[in-house]
């Protein structure tokens, strides 16, 4: 199911000149990337001004596993709230062999419309 702006956007044309079919997994991945790229804004009383986005991952240490696990739980709640095309969302912190980006978040969920399992990875850039 495409969101309104996804329905309004022109889809690329295939070799036969017709619009390519809608790729739901790619659209969900793009929406998750937008969510991770957006920062939650707070007023002086520390309540969220906008209920969209996540805290900045740069403010926590890459070796602070408890903080990263809390961040993963915040990410899970945000995905559940803002991405209705997914259900049974699980977000885990996974180590990598990259010195500059030693961990990534792995999102495992079920596509709500089809019941298919899917996985998305998110780099936690510094």
Alpha-carbon span 53 to 41, nearest angstrom: 8
Q: What domain count does the chain have?
A: 1
Neighbours of 78 (CB within 10 A): 21
Query: Is residue 16 included in any domain, yes or no?
Result: no
Q: Which region holds residue 106: left if phi is over 0, alpha if psi is between -120 and 50, else beta?
A: beta
The confidence score (pLDDT) of residue 49 equals 47
Residue 25 phi, psi (nearest 5): -60, -40
Query: Is residue 52 included in any domain, yes or no?
Result: yes
pTM: 0.74
Check pLDDT > 50 for residue 121. Answer: yes
- Continuous segment of H or E residues that includes residue 73: helix 65-82
The confidence score (pLDDT) of residue 104 equals 85
pLDDT digits (tens, 9 = 90+) for 27-40: 888 888 888 887 76
pLDDT digits (tens, 9 = 90+) for 3-30: 666 666 666 677 887 877 778 888 888 8
Query: Is residue 5 included in any domain, yes or no?
Result: no
CATH number for position 111: 3.10.450.40
Alpha-carbon span 57 to 62, nearest angstrom: 9
What number of helices (H) and strands (E) belong to the chain?
A: 3, 3
């Amino acid at each position: 199911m495409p969101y309104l702006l996804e329905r309004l956007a022109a889809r690329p044309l295939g070799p036969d000149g017709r619009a390519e079919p809608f790729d739901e997994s790619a659209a969900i991945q793009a929406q998750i990337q937008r969510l991770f790229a957006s920062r939650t804004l707070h007023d002086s009383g520390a309540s969220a001004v906008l209920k969209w986005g996540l805290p900045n991952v740069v403010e926590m240490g890459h070796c602070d596993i408890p903080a990263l696990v809390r961040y993963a739980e915040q990410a899970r709640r945000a995905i559940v709230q803002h991405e209705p095309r997914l259900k049974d969302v699980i977000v885990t912190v996974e180590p990598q062999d990259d010195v500059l980006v030693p961990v990534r978040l792995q999102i495992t969920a079920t596509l709500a419309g089809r019941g298919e399992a899917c996985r998305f990875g998110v780099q936690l850039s510094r």
